Chain A
């Protein structure tokens, strides 16, 4: 059974960083990319970036280009999303999702989401 398991809720102060993990199971991790999407309270889905887990190539949304880093550890089948210089408007649920090869491919399996709260 294909599954993406994310790390737990994080509470951070403004200016800090957060690192969210996403562990894949039930499939060959390096055969699919991992996408990160966030959802602020009461808002829609917002794409943040993507990593090719086979070769480590990344692509980030222009909005987050200078604050986000996505990495993958193939030995543990885990992807990570690191967001720096947190602000209150970064408070959101952060999702990872699996993507087949090819930029037009859909996100077919999603993690359960990780809540990040940024508050002083």
Chain B
């Protein structure tokens, strides 16, 4: 089955840039979505189809996807960005949805 690998944690100071990776075999050939889940809340879509932002999501959030790695980038990080982030793809070969293990973003 297809596996998505994320770092368990990323730490960044306020105002700096955070990059969260999502690794998978030829993930660049797939459509990647990113979800933010704040403590005690339901997940929320922040990036879809690799790089598009839903309405209401700040321009500080961006995404890229190439080769074996997709990346969620958050510029000018704020304390309110602190959350768990999950990448997600659909694996055509198994017709299954796959989530990454999640990355906890800590704003120091």
Contacts and interface: CB of A to CB of B under 8 A. Distances in A.
B43 interface: yes
A80 interface: no
Nearest to B102: A44
Contacts of B100: 44
Interface residues of B, number: 27
A46 interface: yes
Contacts of A59: 95
B44 interface: yes
Contacts of A11: none
A111 B42 CA distance: 7
Contacts of B84: 44
Interface string B5-18: 00000000000000
A47 B96 contact: yes
Given A45-B35, A108-B54, A110-B42, A61 B86 contact: no
